[in-house]
Amino acid sequence: METIVSIASGKIRGSTRQNIGTFLGIPYAAAPIGPARFELPKPAPKWSGVRDTVEHGPDCAQTPFPPAIAALLGSQCAPGDDCLHLNVWTPDPGGRGLPVLVWIHGGSFTRGSNARALYDGSAFARDGVVLVSLNYRLGIMGFAAVPGAPLNRGLHDQILALRWIQDNIAAFGGDPGNVTVFGESAGGMSVMTLLASPPARGLFRRAIVQSANGSAVASAEDADKVTKLVAAELGIAPTPAEFGGVDMKQLCAAQDAIDGDLMTDPDPARWGNSIVVNGLGLMAFLPVIDGELIPAPPLRTLVTEPDRVVPTLAGWNAEEFRLFTVPTGAALGISNDTLPTILSRSGIDPQITAAYRANRPQASAADVFAAVLTDLAFRNDTVRIAETSSAAGSSTYLYEFAWRSGIDGLGACHALEIPFVFDQLPNAHTLTGPNPPQELADEMHRAWVGFAHRGDPGWPRFDPATKLVHTFDSPQSHDVADPRSDELRALRESRATP
């Protein structure tokens, strides 16, 4: 059955099945074409008549994931010009006052899409929540520091989408005063950045951060180095006009080449310390400290100004970094002899491995590396924000996802929690393996729904005295006080923290 809704830009036609209204590919901004690729986003132009929104819109410019990762996460990639759009799932387009969840996808700021099957919002709508998923500019278009162009265009896209939601979500039954923004990986990093960003204040009431950190930002100087390397790769001058004239496939090919160079040779003298350390030698294109959207690294802002933190649900997966070491074969190159050098390249004192080895007497060097990088990239910042915000009186809930994939070697890896959160296990067997526990998806999805409705996922809030973390696992989830505190303490003592 078709459903017609009126929004600020005009009328749209979606579909309704099993009492769930679905509207796909709704433009919230004008298409970023040519030089506009490197301009601030502009509101979508109005249209006459009724616009069909029954199919997913195009992805932002990108190439597919590398084969080893694509085999697990999927390889959907259909870039196109009119990529700044969002999807809406609602239980009642004619209703009012429904809680709203806004999903920001991950993908290392260079890949990803709101069209992936794992992000289908129908289960949230089934349970009384309006789910919105948005696209934003990626890679060079979204985050390269092009001289003469505004910085952080991808984040400006996200903020414009949140403003669109404030103006239009009531037409889908949603409450603009009860918006929770959530994301995973680069999407979770975006959420942390939005928490600390002055222009985003007031655009959402709560936040959920999945597998992210608040340190993945580049200095303007280091971002400029990356841009010059990209321009040299393309044989152009680093200007908006020159970049805007490059074919999108060439632009993405250059982007991939730069990312590959960084991973092969993460020399701080070439890339800058913030790219190598904050991007873990994996991400050349990061949000940039600009004094406007990002006054300082988000973690530093949130630690020094905890009043910025809204009620937050945040967590990590127990073995995040296995996704980056096992499928790619990188784990095979990590031995007891090479581990100290590899850790040093990430700015980590190799001596901290003693704490990790003591807790994992049978672990290989690759297992230890994955555990250390999981804490460095995800757990440490998440706990830091919980410690400071809860001490300031803000409600924060922490979780750890510990269920291990049925795919050999992945463990409780990065991105594994997503199909459980969205209750989309049938779309995730390449990542979960066969027969993932539906009861765990029921529990996790219910926690996210509860947080969207009431700000309470169903377990006690984080307290600096007990540091309680809810562990999602099967056959039974449980609460743990300050898990593996000796490891986190060793990591912190080895590094300067904000």
How far apart, in whole angstroms, are the C-alpha atoms of residue 29 and residue 36? 11
How far apart, in whole angstroms, are the C-alpha atoms of residue 334 and residue 458? 40
**Type of residue numbered 134:** L
**Type of residue numbered 157:** D
Q: Tell me, yes or no, if 474 is annotated catalytic.
A: no
How far apart, in whole angstroms, are the C-alpha atoms of residue 224 and residue 419? 37
Per-residue pLDDT of the chain (498 residues; tens, 9 = 90+): 788 999 999 999 999 998 999 999 999 999 999 878 999 999 999 999 999 999 999 999 999 988 999 999 987 788 899 999 999 999 998 889 999 999 999 999 999 999 999 999 999 999 999 999 999 999 999 999 999 999 999 999 999 999 999 999 999 999 999 999 999 999 999 999 999 999 999 999 999 999 999 999 999 999 999 999 999 999 999 988 888 888 889 999 999 999 989 988 888 889 988 998 888 888 999 999 999 999 999 999 988 888 888 999 999 999 999 999 999 898 998 999 999 988 887 778 899 999 999 999 999 999 999 999 999 999 999 999 899 888 878 899 999 999 999 999 999 999 999 999 999 999 999 999 999 999 999 999 999 999 999 999 999 999 999 999 999 999 999 999 999 999 999 999 887 544
Asked if residue 180 lies in contact with residue 205, where contact means CB atoms within 8 angstroms, the answer is yes
Choose the catalytic residue: 56, 85, 105, 414. Answer: 414
Choose the catalytic residue: 320, 387, 400, 417. Answer: 320
Q: Tell me, yes or no, if 400 is annotated catalytic.
A: no
Q: How many alpha carbons fall within 13 Å on the CB side of residue 217?
A: 29
Q: Tell me, yes or no, if 445 is annotated catalytic.
A: no
DSSP-assigned letters across all residues of 174-217: EEEEEEEEEEETHHHHHHHHHHH-GGGTTS-SEEEEES--S---
DSSP-assigned letters across all residues of 365-405: HHHHHHHHHHIIIIIHHHHHHHHHHHHTT--EEEEEE-PPP
Choose the catalytic residue: 113, 122, 133, 185. Answer: 185
Q: Domains (ranges, CATH) in the chain?
A: 220-278 (no CATH), 311-493 (3.40.50.1820)
pTM for this structure? 0.96
Spatial CA neighbour of 417 closest among 333, 490, 323: 323
Q: What is the pLDDT of residues 60-81, one digit of tens each?
A: 999 998 899 999 998 778 889 9
pLDDT of residue 498: 43
Q: How many alpha carbons fall within 13 Å on the CB side of residue 304?
A: 10
How far apart, in whole angstroms, are the C-alpha atoms of residue 374 and residue 318? 7
